[in-house]
């Protein structure tokens, strides 16, 4: 069954109970939102990702959001496709250069 939610006038959204229970998510759980085409991928921000992001922030001088995105990519053993040059020298990054 597909679960849906509506964005409120305050730009808030409740996660459907069926999804929360299936994923074992509770109040206070943090998430990272990753743009994906015309949608967004919502992934839990766990301690491993947060700590890895802090290390990446210091090591590569990445902005916090960039560090979280890259740490999430690493956690899921994925490649990052981006046009953001901040990631150019990092491994598992495919840099898509914008045309002039």
Domain ranges within the chain, ordered by starting residue: 17-95
> Locate tokens 């967004």: which residue?
40
Q: How do residues 61-93 score in pLDDT, each as one tens digit?
A: 999 889 998 998 898 889 999 988 889 889 999
pLDDT, average across residues 1-17:
88
pLDDT of residue 67: 93
Q: How do residues 34-67 score in pLDDT, each as one tens digit?
A: 777 788 888 888 888 899 999 999 999 999 889 9
- 98 has pLDDT over 80: no
Q: Which of 64, 62, 63, 23 is nearest to 44 (CA)?
A: 23
Q: How far is CA 52 from CA 5, 25, 57, 90, in A?
A: 31, 21, 9, 14
Is the whole model's pTM more than 0.75, yes or no?
no
At 33, the pLDDT band (50, 70, 90 cuts) reads confident
At 100, the pLDDT band (50, 70, 90 cuts) reads low
């Amino acid at each position: 069954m597909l679960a849906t939610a509506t964005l409120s006038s305050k730009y808030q959204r409740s996660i459907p109970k069926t999804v929360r229970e299936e994923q074992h998510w509770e109040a206070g759980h943090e998430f990272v939102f990753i743009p994906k085409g015309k949608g967004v991928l919502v992934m839990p921000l766990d301690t491993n990702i947060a700590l890895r992001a802090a290390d990446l922030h210091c090591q590569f001088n990445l902005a916090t959001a960039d560090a979280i995105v890259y740490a999430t990519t690493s956690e899921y053993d994925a490649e990052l496709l981006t046009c953001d040059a901040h990631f150019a020298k990092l491994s598992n990054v495919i840099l898509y250069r914008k045309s002039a």
